[in-house]
Amino acid sequence: MSQPPAKTLTAVQAAILAWFKAESRELPWRSTRDPYSIMVSEVMLQQTQVDRVIPVYHAFLKLFPTFQSLADAPAADVIRAWAGMGYNRRAMNLQRAAVQVTSLYEGVLPDDMKSLRGLPGVGEYTAAAMACFALGQEVVVIDTNVRRVLGRVFYGPSGAPDKSIASTAAQALPEGEAWSWNQALMDIGATICTSRRPTCLLCPVRSDCKAAGTFLSSSNSVAEIRAAYKTKPERFEGSSRYYRGRVVAHLRELSDGVSCDLQSLGLVVKPDYTDDDEPWLLTLLQGLQRDGLVALNDQGAKTEVALPL
Ligand code: SF4
């Protein structure tokens, strides 16, 4: 796919940066450059929406204000502080990353992509986000929103393959403005150029966007075209993630040092639980144990379950 002309790039950059200056959302992690706080926010935002992240982010930083304090905290306290976020494995990865930063890098977030990628729970996107937002590096940050916005603007309603988007994103990055540019694209993707209903009339780049004409001309076309971005929704209730969440939610309610046996835990997480479900529950718990989210204590014929300390 051919790259957009320089004139279009310049116009899009100017429009997006001007829009961001006037309209950007006030988010707590945007008013800090503290690498630890930004890492916490990035991990929280990986799979949880902004509104749910904000209160947990503030409370989490109050309890664990530094890499060192998080690294030293009992795992059970970190898991409790993650309540309401879902995908609890991230809490343990974040704590493991804090341990790594304190033990390998003297408590300072490393500034090269290879070391960032080596931190537990940090994939390509999060590493790039930390490089840009926490360390001030001039790098592209491509998440789902950015991919969608750039795809529509420069290629049309159906977007473009990841390779083309990556190359266009690198070309479009305005010099010295990576922080604002990446934040702006994410804001536009989250609030205006949404997957289901892009509101092109409010969009700062509608006059240069290759998809705007299609979306503005017919409301039906949005539903048709969004098939290009659609992923099949995963059924949550009854899924392994659902039961894992229920186990951790119940254990969070127990005081330190208190555990529960398989039978009572099974009945809490699955009301129609029977003895036949025990192998299923044990497999689920072993997965949670591998992720550092539960501690299993075999006491002869009985297994007791609790949060890890
Ligand atoms: S003009 Fe419409 S399709 Fe293009 S980026 Fe803006 S909201 Fe998205």
DSSP output for 146-215 = HHHHHHHHHH-TT---HHHHHHHHHHH--TT-HHHHHHHHHHHHHHTS-SS---GGG-TTGGG-TTHHHH
How much is the pLDDT for 221?
Answer: 47
Q: Is 3.40.50.300 the CATH classification of the domain at 6-25+140-228?
A: no
Question: What residue type is assigned to position 73 of the chain?
Answer: A
At the top level of CATH, which class does the domain 34-134 belong to?
A: mainly alpha
Amino acid 299: pLDDT: 81
Q: Is 42 a catalytic residue?
A: yes
Hey, is 265 helix, strand or coil? helix
CA dihedral 149, 155, 161, 163 (to 10 degrees): -90
Q: What is the pLDDT of residue 298?
A: 87
**Going edge to edge, which strands form the sheet with 295-299?**
260-261, 302-306, 295-299
* Domain edges within the chain: 6-25+140-228, 34-134, 240-306
Q: Indicate the pairing of strand 295-299 with strand 302-306.
A: antiparallel
Record the pTM.
0.87
pLDDT at 220: 47
Residue with the nearest Cα to atom 8 of ligand 1?
193
String of b and e for 207-220 (b: at least 16 CB within 10 Å)? ebbbbbebbbeeee
> Is residue 206 in contact with ligand 1, taking CB distance under 6 Å?
yes
Could you tell me if the CB of 90 is within 6 A of ligand 1? Answer: no
192 lines ligand 1 (CB under 6 A): yes
Distance 303 CA to ligand 1 centre (A): 55
pLDDT means per 10 residues in the chain (309 residues)? 80 96 93 96 94 97 98 97 95 98 96 96 95 96 96 94 94 96 96 93 95 81 52 74 94 91 93 92 94 90 90
Ligand 1 touching residue 153 (CB < 6 A) = yes
- Ramachandran area for residue 231 (φ above 0: left; ψ -120 to 50: alpha; else beta): beta
Fold for the domain defined by 240-306 = Arc Repressor Mutant, subunit A (1.10.10)
| Amino acid 234: pLDDT | 64
Pocket test for ligand 1, best of 8, 19, 20, 149 (most atoms within 8 A of CB): 149
CA of 276 to the centre of ligand 1 (A): 53
Q: How far is the CA of 145 from the centre of ligand 1 (A)?
A: 12
The catalytic position among 26, 42, 177, 234 is: 42
Contact call for residues 180 and 164 (beta carbons, < 8 A): no
